Structures are given as C-alpha cells and as structure tokens.
Amino acid sequence: MKMVLASKNAHKLVEMKDILSQLGIEVVLESDVGVDVDVEETGTTFEENAYLKAQAVCQASGLPAIADDSGLCVDALNGAPGVYSARYGGPGLDDVGRYKLLLENLRGQLDRRGKFVSAICCCFPNGDRVEARGECPGTIAYAPKGEGGFGYDPVFFVPGLKKTFAQLTAEEKNAISHRGNALKQFKTELENYLHGIDK
C-alpha cells in the first residue's frame, strides 16, 4: 500500500518510513504524487489539525494520506506554545528564535514541566480514518544542549536519560518520543483496520 505524507518535513518522512515500512506500507511525499496542498491549520487541537491536513491531501491525491500534528505544551505557560509551536512568536522566527523566546518566557520560572504531543491521522478515500496520539513528558532546560534534532529539541530535557532530545541518537529518540509513541499506537490501530478488526 502507498500512503502520502501530508507534510513537506523530511524529518517526519524518515520517522514515518521507519515504522510503517514494517507493515509493508510505502510512504511518499506529496511531491512524489504530483500534489502540493497548502492546508491552513485552523484547528484548536493537534487532532483537528492532523485531520485537516490528511483529509486535504487524501482528496487531492486520491490515495490514503497520513498527517502528524505535533508540538510542545509547557505547564507554566498554560499549555503554550501548543498547536502554535511551529508559529510561536510569529513568522519572523526560525527554530532557534522560537526556543530562545520560549526560554525568555520561562525566565525565573521554577516549574519547567512540559510534554511533546503528536497526533496522527490517516484518511482513506472511502472516508474512513485511523487516528493515534502519543506524548513524551520532560522538562524545559535552562539553555540549549546538543546538535541533533530540530525545533525545540535542544531545550527539551528528558530526566530519565539526562539528555535533551537534541543529544539523543535517532534510535534513542524514536524509542521514547511523542511521535515514536504515536506511531507505535497508530501501527496497532492500522493493523486492526487493515484486518477488519473492530475494537
């Protein structure tokens, strides 16, 4: 089965391929099937945004489409940046600018708890959909550490491993990350769907 990833993010493609290839599913980019959809993420939850993206690409391509919407939720900021993680601080900021703004907004704050959240939605041409959600708890570091990853990874600290996401190998990150957890759940839900098993 071929599935279109409703994203232009190459990092997401690698993570999706790693897990879904085990089910014999080939994940391709929108550009691979001649589709270029720009979806306005108007949802107020990760689940709503994942559905909006998957549905739009499924309709445009005529193929099953999978989307992930993810972000960082910080307790002391009432869950911000949340669904606005990729747009935090406005269009002028890059990844580094966004995590610097986050650290600035947490200056003097002792409660550094937060979590990464990932919602995955797969829409099928017949109208069916399969969904999953994964989370990874952690804390926000006082300064960035590590060269790997992207986004907020350099400031997201995992106490159990004593490292930020940016200091983890791809294998270590996939084993505990929000997207890794969501993909594991999604794999089970999709297997059930493909085998016609009703929960």
Q: Is 153 a catalytic residue?
A: no
- The answer to whether the Cα torsion of 118, 53, 67, 37 is positive or negative is negative
CB 164 within 8 A of CB 155: yes
Q: Which of 38, 69, 75, 94 is catalytic?
A: 69
Residue that is written with structure tokens 């919602």 in the block:
119
Beta-sheet pairing, 2-5 with 156-158: unpaired
Q: Where are the alpha helices (DSSP H) in 33-169?
A: 46-61, 95-105
Radius of gyration for the alpha carbons in the chain, expressed in angstroms and rounded: 17
Residues with catalytic roles: 69
